[in-house]
Chains A and B, each alone.
Chain A
Amino acid sequence: MQTAMPHISITTSEGFEAFLATRNEPDWLAQRRREAFALYQSLCVVELDPEEFRRVDLRLFRPNDYQLVADLPDGDEANQFSTLMEHRGDFGGSIAHTDGHLVRSDVTSELVEQGVIFCSLSEAVLKHEELVKKYLMTKAVLPDADRFSAWHAAFWTGGLFLYVPRHVTIEKPLHSLIGLASSKAADYSHTLIVLEQGASATLLEETASADENLPGLHIGAIELLVGEEAHLRYVQLQNWHHRVFHFAHQCGHVGRDASLQWTVGSLGSKFSHVHQDVMLNGQGADAQVNGIIFATGRQKLSYYTQQYHKAPNTHSDLLYKDVVCDRSRVIWRGMIEVDPVAQKTDSYQRNDSLILSHDARVDAIPGLKIEADGVRCTHGATAGQVDEEQILYCMSRGISRGEAMHLIVNGFFQQIFDRIPVEIVRDTLSQSVQTKLGFDN
C-alpha cells in the first residue's frame, strides 16, 4: 500500500500547485481554487470561532500527516468497503469514490431522459459547467466560512453532483459511497445537490474506510439546495474507521414550501467536527433534522448545528440522540436563529444523551437567537444514564446484562428510527448501531 505512490502535500503552496497541475479544469475553477488556497493560508493564522470551537481540542490534529493520493490503489483495494447500504436496495443510481477518485458511477437511463444529472462532480464540471459554476460553493457552503471550508474549496476532489429538473420526481433512492483506502490519505469529497422547483429525490450517502488501521483525513462539504416546492431526503452515514479525522461543512437551503429531511448517522472517526446549517429561506419551508451519534472507545465527535429561519411561516425540527461509551466524548452545540421577518416561525431543537460510562462525557448546549416576536421556539437537552432497574427488569426475563444494555441503547435511538419513513434508511441505521454494538441480530 505504502509503496511509491505519488502524494501531494495539502498544506504547502508547492503541494497546491502540484495538485492544480493534475486537474484539467476550466480557468474560473482554477482561479476559485487559488483564491480559496490563499484564504486557507490566511485563515490558518486566525483564531477559529470560539463559540463553535471552544470545546473542540485540535491539538492532536496534524494536517501535515496527510496527503492527497494522486492515483488510486491497485486492484481490489479500491473496493474493499464494508458498505452498509449498497447491497440493500434497488437504487436509481450509484456512485462510489475511493481516496477522492471516482471508481464507478451509474444512473438509470430513465432518469437521464428526464434530465436528471447524477455524476461525479469532476465530470459535472466538464459536462455541466454552467450549473456547477452557478451553485458550487456560492450559496450554501462558502469558502470564507473558516479555514476548513477554504481548505475544502481549494482542494475538493471527488464527490458528486445531483441535479433534478423542475417537477421531476425520482422514486428510487440514489446511493453514494465515499471511501478511504490509502494510509494517510486526505479526502476532500464534495456533495452538491440541486433540486429545482417541485422536484423530489432521496440520496443515501455513506463514508467508510477500507481498513480499520488506516489513518486518514476527510475535509468535506455538503450542499443541499432545495428549490421551491421541492422535497429532498438526504442521509449521511459517517462510518469512518477509528483513525480518521473528519471535518465537514454541511449546509441545506430550503426554499418556499419546500421540505428537507436530513438524517445524520455519526458512528465512525477518531475525531469529528461537523458544522451543519439548515437555512429556511422561503415561506412555508420545512426542515427535519435527525441525528444519531454513537461514540465508543476514545472517539470525540462534535456537532455544531444551526437552524436559521429567514422567512415567515417556516418550520424546523431537529432531534439528535447521542450515546457515549468508554472514554468517548460528544459535543453538541445547537442554535436556532430567527430573523425579524421570520414571523410565525415554529422551531424545535432537542438533544438527548445516554451516558454509559463514568469516563464518557457529553456537552450539549442548546441555544436561541430570536429577533421576531411572533414565533414558537422550543429547545432542550437531556442527559442520563441507563436506569439499573431497567437492566434488572430485563435480567429477570432471562436477558443478560450486556444484551439488556444493547436493547436499551437501540431503544434509545428508536425515536429517531421512528421519524424516518424510508425503510432502507431505517434498517441501515439500526443495523449500523447493532454492528457497532457488536451484534447482528
Chain B
Amino acid sequence: MREIVVEVIARVVDDLLRLRKHLVEADFEMNSKLKIENLHVQVGETPILKGVHLEISQGEIHALMGPNGSGKSTLAYALMGHPKYVVTQGSIDIDGIDVNELDPCQRARLGMFLAFQYPVTIPGVKVADFLRHAITNVRTPDRKEGEPLMPMKEFRIELRDTMKQLNMDPEFARRYLNDGFSGGEKKRMEILQLAMLKPRFALLDETDSGLDSDAVRVVSEGLAKLSGPDMGVLIITHHERLLEYNIPNYTHVMLAGKIVETGDASLAHDLHANGYAEVRKRHPEEAAQEQKQQEATV
C-alpha cells in the first residue's frame, strides 16, 4: 500500500516538474503583450483620454490616427510615464506587470521606447556616450549608476554596424545629442536609438511630422528594417506615408480621447483619402465632445 502511495506521489511530482518546465519554456517563447485597459489620463485639470482600450503584441504593427487634439500624443506620453500625464483610471500592463507603477527609466528597461515628436537637445553629451549609457541600462535592467558600461569596443562595432544599416554618416555619433540637428536628423536620431535599444514595444509619436518626403522615406525605411517578430509597434501619425513602408496589422482611430474604430490597413488609406468627416458622423457623441473641447480651448 505504502509503496503504491509513494509511487503515485513520485509520478505526480514528476508530472508537476514536467509541467513547470513546460510552462517556463512557454514563458520564454511567450509573445509579450502590452495591454491598455480603460485608460483615463488628464493633464493638469483637463481630462484628455477617456477610456482607451488597446492591446499590442510583439510583432504587430498598429497605426493610431485621429485629428489634432484627439489624444494620440497624450497616449504616447502616458505610456512612457511622463509625470505631467496623470493616469486617473484604468491600467497599463505588460505580461502581468503594472507599468503604471514604474517611472520612465524602469519602463525603458522593461522594453518600452518612445520616439519623441520633439526630441530634446542635450548639449555636450555625445550621441555615442548617450547611447552607450542607454544601451547598457536597457540590456542590464538591474544596473546601478557607476557599474560598468558596455565594453567600448563591442559598443563601437555595434553602433557602426547599426548606423551603416540605417545609411547614417558615422560622424553623427560624435555630435552632441540633437544639438544643431535639423528636423530630419532628429527623427533619424530617434530611429537610431530605436535600432540600438531594440525595444519590445516601440511607440512612434508623429515621427513623420515636419519632414520632407525624402526624410519620411528614409525614416520609414529605417523603421521597416527594424520592426519584426520581436517588436510591437504603435505608429502615431496623421499622414499615411509612414505606413506605406510599414503596413499596419491594425489601424485605430482616436476621437475625443477614445479609440472609436479599429480596422486594418485599408482604414488608414480611407482616412488619408477622405479625412475624419465620416468618422465624426459615425460617432456623433465623440464628435460633439471634440467640438466642445475645441471651443473651450479657444
Contacts and interface: CB of A to CB of B under 8 A. Distances in A.
B108 interface: yes
Contacts of A406: 145
A271 B103 CA distance: 39
B120 A398 contact: no
Interface in B97-152: 103-105, 107-109, 113-114, 116, 119-125, 129-130, 133-134, 137-138, 141, 144-146, 148-149
Q: Which of B103, B104, B107, B144 has the most CB of A within 10 A?
A: B104
A402 B144 CA distance: 10
A416 to B, nearest CB: 9
- Most chain B CB within a 10 A radius of its CB, from A395, A401, A415: A395
Interface string B159-193: 00000000000000000100000000000000001
Contacts of A393: 116, 119-120, 122
B146 A441 contact: yes
A410 B124 contact: yes
B272 interface: no
A275 B173 CA distance: 40
Contacts of A400: 105, 137, 144-145
A439 B105 contact: no
B11 to A, nearest CB: 46
Nearest to A409: B124
Given A389-B120, A392-B82, A398 B146 contact: no
Given A399-B134, A407-B130, A441-B148, A390 B120 contact: yes
A403 B123 contact: no
A402 B137 CA distance: 13
Contacts of A394: 122, 130, 134
Interface in A398-441: 398-403, 406-408, 410-415, 438-441
User: Size class of A's contact patch?
Assistant: 20 to 34
Nearest to B148: A441
Nearest to B134: A397
Interface in A353-412: 387, 389-390, 392-403, 406-408, 410-412
A396 B129 contact: no
Contacts, number: 92
B255 interface: no
Contact of A399 (B83, B137, B146): B137
Given A407-B129, A441-B148, A398 B138 contact: yes
Interface in A320-344: none
Nearest to B196: A397
Contacts of A412: 123-124
Specify which of A390, A393, A414 lies most central, judged by the most chain B CB atoms within 10 Å of its CB.
A393
Nearest to B147: A441
A323 B117 CA distance: 30
Given A393-B119, A400-B137, A439 B145 contact: yes
Given A398-B137, A414-B124, 10 more contacts: A395-B81, A396-B113, A398-B108, A398-B134, A406-B145, A407-B125, A411-B124, A411-B125, A414-B123, A438-B146
27 contacts: A389-B120, A390-B120, A390-B121, A392-B83, A393-B119, A394-B130, A396-B80, A396-B114, A397-B133, A397-B134, A397-B138, A397-B193, A397-B197, A398-B108, A398-B137, A399-B105, A399-B130, A399-B137, A400-B105, A402-B145, A408-B124, A408-B125, A411-B123, A414-B125, A414-B176, A440-B146, A441-B146
